[in-house]
């Protein structure tokens, strides 16, 4: 076969090689030779330095004592003083057992899942470490591939941070442990210290938590499931939901197939093995009111700090919260002393949240009598806001320079085309009618300003205000925007631009109303609520301090005028019971359609608190056993006042800013004629009766009452 003409012949190649050998290198050739020489020397130097550095690191790295970390793994929550313990997220629940008490098939299931060459390797996986280092240098996600020895070191001795330094330390300690301890000892320690979820650390407590049996009685299938959940209990515990069940099933199949591949399980036995049945996850019971706070702490640890369930449950965290012990005790006492009993009012729930204005710290939270996994009445339950939303109407009005001394017609009922609702079965509403609180036609008022209308929660006045804010339009964006600016989430149920939004058709959470009112108390400074001040971990891997999120929302003059109007509610209006607090206070009562929820939200300069009461998730009338309707001006005000007394005990009394009078100048003021000769008093027209604060329940069957 001939060589193609485009390629040189073998003889030509040989002759060229000989001539090149005799030829001396040119200037460029010498440069290349010296460059290669220095590169090789540099690589050799780096290798020698690396070996030396490794030798120093190996000699100076000690194996930590495992009990030092094991004893500090319970995560503890503290009150705001950072010293008084509130509770523990998860006690370390571990009962060690010798390897001889753990069935061989359970041990092999773990090896099939995590490290099939455990008894052959030297305690580390070079390829796994190499992948982790490369990915870490590139800033990529965490890589697996660790041996059981490495996992034992990582989970039991070291921090959970994902740095190259930690990987190097893990590598050195893994080698040392593999040299100093037997494989059986390492495996036993691993099985007794790994976290399985459900608060169970170690194989013995895990066997009881998942199957109700001793570890010595675990079946092949049960062992395969426990070997699966250690990868991430929140992802593989089948009791958590269908997604976790599917993931667990796939992982168990992987483990069982691996056992067959390794010769640890026969094909026939594999065919007979089915997914094991687990016990329902044990529920927390009788955790008291503080259980709701602990649950919210867990949620914030996960959402704001990005911690996993495993890190939260066994990370040895020390968590300082914003909860003031005195205020929390006052919240519990206020509810216990003022709420009807279960016999008097079954299925009645109350939520209370208090927030520090201009800061966002949640000072107290009452979510229910006893945390058993039920919804938190402060953070989960939603209920129509009722007349508490009239405050957002005031904020919107003052932003447009509409003075709180502006007068409107307070007659009842009144009919407005903008309020027509053809879908309503109630004739008054269908025709666009709005009615004040009270029987029959409702309370009657003449021309009154917004301050008095706020004090007595006059629906017809606020309906006219919303029409004025819309300025000829059909969408009430003013109240909507003011509510969001104050702190209500945009996704608040029912929050829209319908014209009757000023009467409280939206359904917020109690915590959201407390925060929105805190913005007013803080003279327009909005804060994002938070529950955790700082977090540290026993191993030093976590050191978190809150960064407060503050945003200017309203002008100080606007909030000062709104505060002034809200003080009228306490001084001589629907919330007059709050005068018993004995210090300057501002607030607003609120009752929804058919009295399905009643509120009182208010503040002092130092503290904002919202109280909401509802029945059967806000679908039933809030009544007590004798059929009497609970009034927003009674029970919610009583709870709020009692709480604020206890929470503020010992604190200085502070006055609100004076009313600046935004938009007052265009408001007509009555002129006083110069003194003249006395005129006989008229005898034909008696003076008009003054409206009085109602003593009957604040119940309104049309739109939003008080």
Closest CA to 464 of 389, 397, 385, 559: 397
| C-alpha–C-alpha distance, residues 124 and 170, integer Å | 9
CB 599 within 8 A of CB 513: yes
The candidate with the shortest Cα–Cα distance to 237, out of 247, 214, 253, is: 247
CA distances from 108 to 119, 214, 228, 344 (A): 11, 18, 12, 59
- Nearest 5 degrees, angle CA 194-CA 199-CA 200? 45
Kindly write down the DSSP assignment for every residue of 181-225, as one continuous string. S-HHHHHHHHHHHSB-STTEESHHHHHHHHHSS-GGG--HHHHHH
242-261 and 220-229 helices, crossing angle to 10°? 120
- State the pairing for strand pair 543-545/348-355: unpaired
Active site residues: 114, 387
Q: What is d(CA 286, CA 270) in angstroms, rounded to the nearest whole number?
A: 43
Beta strands 586-591 and 597-603, pairing class: antiparallel
Q: With contact defined as beta carbons under 8 Å apart, do 161 and 212 qualify?
A: no
Backbone angles phi and psi of 352, in degrees to 5: -140, 130
* CA–CA gap between residue 248 and residue 227 (Å, rounded): 10
H helices present in 212-344, as ranges: 220-229, 233-236, 242-261, 267-272, 290-303, 309-314, 325-338
Contact 534, 544 (CB under 8 A): yes
Whole-number Å distance between alpha carbons of 629 and 286: 30
Q: Which two tokens stand for residue 400?
A: 């447009």
Q: How many CA atoms lie within 13 A of 398 on its CB side?
A: 29
For residue 456, the 8-state DSSP code is T
- Whether the CB-CB separation of 487 and 400 falls below 8 Å is answered with no
Per DSSP, the three-state class of 44 is helix
Beta strand 75-78 pairing with 317-321: parallel
Separation between Cα atoms, residue 695 and residue 574, nearest integer Å: 9
Cα 124 to chain centroid, rounded:
39
Q: Distance between CA 371 and CA 282 in Å, rounded? A: 14
């Amino acid at each position: 076969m001939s060589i193609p003409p485009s390629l040189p012949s073998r003889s030509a190649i040989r002759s060229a090689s000989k001539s090149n050998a005799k030829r001396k290198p040119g200037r460029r050739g010498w440069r290349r030779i010296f460059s290669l020489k220095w590169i090789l020397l540099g690589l050799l130097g780096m290798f020698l330095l690396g070996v030396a550095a490794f030798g120093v690191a190996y000699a100076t790295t000690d194996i930590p004592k495992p009990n030092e970390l094991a004893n500090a793994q319970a995560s503890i929550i503290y009150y705001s003083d950072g010293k008084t313990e509130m509770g523990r997220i998860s006690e370390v629940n571990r009962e060690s057992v010798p390897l001889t008490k753990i069935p061989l098939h359970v041990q092999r299931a773990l090896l099939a899942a995590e490290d099939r060459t455990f008894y052959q390797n030297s305690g580390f996986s070079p390829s796994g470490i190499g992948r982790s280092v490369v990915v870490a240098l590139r800033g990529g996600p965490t890589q697996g591939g660790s041996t059981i020895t490495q996992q034992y070191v990582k989970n039991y001795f070291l921090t959970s941070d994902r740095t190259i330094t930690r990987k190097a330390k893990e590598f050195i300690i893994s080698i040392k442990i593999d040299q100093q301890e037997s494989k059986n000892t390492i495996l036993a320690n691993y099985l007794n210290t790994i976290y399985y979820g459900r608060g169970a650390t170690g194989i013995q407590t895990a066997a009881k938590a998942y199957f109700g049996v001793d570890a010595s009685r675990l079946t092949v299938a049960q062992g395969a499931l426990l070997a699966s959940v250690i990868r991430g209990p929140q992802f593989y515990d089948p009791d958590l939901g269908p997604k976790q069940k599917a993931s667990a099933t796939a992982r168990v199949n992987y483990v069982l197939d691996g056992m067959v591949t390794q010769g640890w399980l026969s094909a026939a036995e594999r065919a007979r093995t089915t997914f094991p049945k687990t016990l329902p996850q044990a529920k927390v019971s009788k955790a008291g009111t503080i259980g709701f706070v602990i649950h919210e702490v867990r949620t914030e640890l996960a959402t704001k700090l990005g911690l996993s369930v495993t890190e939260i449950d066994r990370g040895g965290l020390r968590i300082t919260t914003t909860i003031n012990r005195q205020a929390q005790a006052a919240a519990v006492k206020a509810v216990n002393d003022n709420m009807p009993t279960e016999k008097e009012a079954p299925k009645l729930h109350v939520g209370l949240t208090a927030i520090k204005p201009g800061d966002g710290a949640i000072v107290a939270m009452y979510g229910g009598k006893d945390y058993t996994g039920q919804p938190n009445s402060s953070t989960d339950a939603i209920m129509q806001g009722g007349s508490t939303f009239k405050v957002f109407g005031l904020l919107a009005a003052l932003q447009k320079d509409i003075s709180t001394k502006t007068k409107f017609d307070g007659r009842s009922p009144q009919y407005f085309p903008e309020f027509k609702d053809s879908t309503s079965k109630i004739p008054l509403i269908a025709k666009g009618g709005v009615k004040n609180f009270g029987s029959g036609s409702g309370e009657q008022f003449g021309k009154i300003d917004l301050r008095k209308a706020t004090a007595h929660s006059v629906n017809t006045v606020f309906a006219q205000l919303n029409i004025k804010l819309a300025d000829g339009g059909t969408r009430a964006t003013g109240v909507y925007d003011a509510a969001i600016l104050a702190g209500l989430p945009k996704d608040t149920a029912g929050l829209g631009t319908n014209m009757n939004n000023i009467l409280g058709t939206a359904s917020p959470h109690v915590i959201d109303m407390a925060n929105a009112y805190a913005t007013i108390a803080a003279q327009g400074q909005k804060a994002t609520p938070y529950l955790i001040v700082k977090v540290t971990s026993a191993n030093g891997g976590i050191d978190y301090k809150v960064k407060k999120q503050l945003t200017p929302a309203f002008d100080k003059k606007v909030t000062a005028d709104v505060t002034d109007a809200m003080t009228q509610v306490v001084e001589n209006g629907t919330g007059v019971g709050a005068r018993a607090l004995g210090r300057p206070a501002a607030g607003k009562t609120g009752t929804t359609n058919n009295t399905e929820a009643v509120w009182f939200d208010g503040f002092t300069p130092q503290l904002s608190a919202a109280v909401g009461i509802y029945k059967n998730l806000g679908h039933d009338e809030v009544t007590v056993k004798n059929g009497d309707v609970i009034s927003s001006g009674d029970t919610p005000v009583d709870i709020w006042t009692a709480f604020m007394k206890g929470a503020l005990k010992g604190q200085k009394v502070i006055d609100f800013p004076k009313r600046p009078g935004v938009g007052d100048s265009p408001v007509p003021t009555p002129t006083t004629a110069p003194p003249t000769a006395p005129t006989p008093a008229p005898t034909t027209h008696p003076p008009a009766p003054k409206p009085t604060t109602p003593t009957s329940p604040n119940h309104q069957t049309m739109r939003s009452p008080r």
